[in-house]
Amino acid sequence: MMRVGLSFLGLNRYQTTRYYWETEEQNILEYDTDLFPEVLPTFFSLSKLLVFVTKEVEEHENCQRLKDKLGELMETVRIPLGKTEEELWNIFSIVTAKVPPCATIIIDITHAFRSLPLIVFNVASYLRRIKKVKVERIIYGNFEARDKNLVPSRTPIFDLTSTLDLQDWLHGIDAFQRRGDAEELADSLSKTQGRLYQTSHSENAILPRKLKHTAKQLRNFSEALRFLRPLETTPSAVEICNLLKTVQNEALRWAKPFADVLQDINAEISPLQNRAPDILNIENLEAQLKLIEYYLNKDLVVQAVLLAREWLVSCLMFLTNRHVEWREKEARLVVECELGQAASKQRGSEYTGELPHWYRQIPQSSNINDAWNKLSSLRNNVAHCAMNTDAASPETIRNNIKALIPSLEALLDF
């Protein structure tokens, strides 16, 4: 495993202090120096230490002394001063280009100047997502927090890695709120509970017990959602809503970003709940309609179109008292044929066969026919992947399915 240190150096006259670091095993490591990058290979086993410096710093005695101490392990990398937006982007590009893919990195911002620390955090996030780099640590020797009563003074090294965890939380929350994709959010919940159990050294410590289970249920919901499984999505929504009530205290203590959006998640998912998805009734149809609207709110238009078509078949089976067989393939095919026949008749085509028995019996017939015609067109546009010359545009498909929702809702008003 290639472990690379990233550090920075300036022109300041740094003071010698005793830096100390508490390991996960609760051991204390100490090192006396005025140049913090010297600490990195002492506390962490490194394959290489990249020290980013301006031209002036590279020629300064600070850099020369550090080179003398670290030898071939250290590589200086020239960066601009960062006084303009262009120079800041240049620094970003230089740092990211020097880190090999899939490496493990330890970032030190102790001697970073001006806006460099902010750039470093963005670099770390970029490297993790684009180059699959593992950010093991982001550390900072906080000279301002030193114990001045000792000689030399004693300075703590802060672990700032958790700031990246916050970015993970934000990415995960954003993905779930935008697309219903819970994978990153679930990862953050699972990792939080796992890390707390890993680092706890007390048998009596109060630790979270429901974060991982919540993560699992969010994954189940998200998976069912993406794969168009309404009969799994709606009962999964029940599980999540029940969990959100009980996990709040744990989230407030150990997963604050998740706690902050609990109410929003609950408000979004609550209308989708259905405890008996296998029973064809009003509650089931209403929950599935809410799911179609949920898809549209997340701009998951393809899922909305496909589910709306199946929903209309189920709705007609409900209206014509075919509750028992509503999930049987052959029975649904029969209903689809009936819908096609009735729709053809309404369009004035040359269909000469008998109309379905329900055609003149239920008051919703005309609206059902109209909806089926529109949904058939939308479904074909989606399913055939625009492999024809008259394919509708994405905007047209999106607008048409949204416009159709009130007509579907009206079918249940009786």
List of long-range contacts for 379-383, beta carbons under 8 Å, 24+ apart: 379/305, 379/306, 379/309, 382/301, 382/302, 382/305, 382/306
Q: Are 92 and 47 in contact (CB under 8 A)?
A: no
Alpha helices (H) in 110-210, listed in sequence order: 116-130, 162-179, 183-199
pTM value is 0.84
Q: Are 307 and 374 in contact (CB under 8 A)?
A: no
Please provide the CATH number assigned to the domain covering 3-160. 3.40.50.10640
- Specify the domain boundaries for CATH 3.40.50.10640 within the chain: 3-160
Phi and psi based region of residue 399 (left: phi greater than 0; alpha: psi -120 to 50; beta: remaining): alpha
Per the document, the length of the chain is 414
Q: What is the pLDDT of residues 336-373, one digit of tens each?
A: 999 988 877 766 655 556 778 887 888 888 899 999 99
At 224, list the tokens: 């069912």
Q: In what order do the strands lie in the sheet with 17-22?
A: 28-33, 17-22, 154-159, 134-141, 104-108, 3-8, 48-53, 74-78
User: Could you tell me which residues are beta bridge partners of residue 140?
Assistant: 158
- Tens of pLDDT along the chain (414 residues) come to 799 999 999 999 999 999 999 887 778 999 999 999 999 999 999 999 999 999 999 999 999 999 999 999 999 999 999 889 999 999 999 999 999 999 999 999 999 987 888 888 899 999 998 999 999 999 999 999 999 988 889 999 999 988 888 889 999 999 999 999 999 999 999 999 988 887 776 666 788 899 999 999 999 999 999 999 999 999 999 999 999 989 999 999 999 999 999 999 999 999 999 999 999 999 999 999 999 999 999 999 999 999 999 999 999 999 999 999 999 999 999 999 999 888 777 666 555 567 788 878 888 888 999 999 999 999 999 999 989 888 999 999 999 999 999 999 999 987
